Amino acid sequence: MNTIRVRLFAGVAGAICRDSTDVVVDRELTAAGLLRQLSESHPAAGGLLGRSRVAVNMEYVPADHVIRPGDDVAVVPPVSGG
């Protein structure tokens, strides 16, 4: 098993009440799987996580991207400006 540190931003960090969380990985984990796992662990952020993007090594990745041990992983919710 591996543990991946996931950095959280904006509304996701607010809903989970922290700016990062550790995720235990016991099998291949995709970006979509990460968002699902975080939604299950933190239901208050579920709706926002469903619209968030995953960045790996500072680049947004597609849902089927496999996260590897040692990757720099971040969850970035949609933002609006004005």
Q: Which CATH superfamily, name and number, covers 2-76? A: Beta-grasp domain (3.10.20.30)
This prediction has a pTM of 0.90
Question: Dihedral sign, CA of 50, 18, 14, 41?
Answer: positive
Query: Residue 49: pLDDT above 90?
Result: yes
| Mean pLDDT over each residue of the chain, to the nearest integer | 92
- pLDDT value at position 5? 95
Separation between Cα atoms, residue 43 and residue 21, nearest integer Å: 14
Percentage of the residues of the chain whose pLDDT score is greater than 70: 96
For 50-81, write each residue's pLDDT tens digit. 999 999 999 999 999 999 988 999 999 987 66
Nearest to 37 by CA among 52, 24, 55, 20: 24
Angle at 23 between CA 29 and CA 11, to 5 degrees: 100
Residues in the chain: 82
| Residue 64 tokens, joined | 């089927």
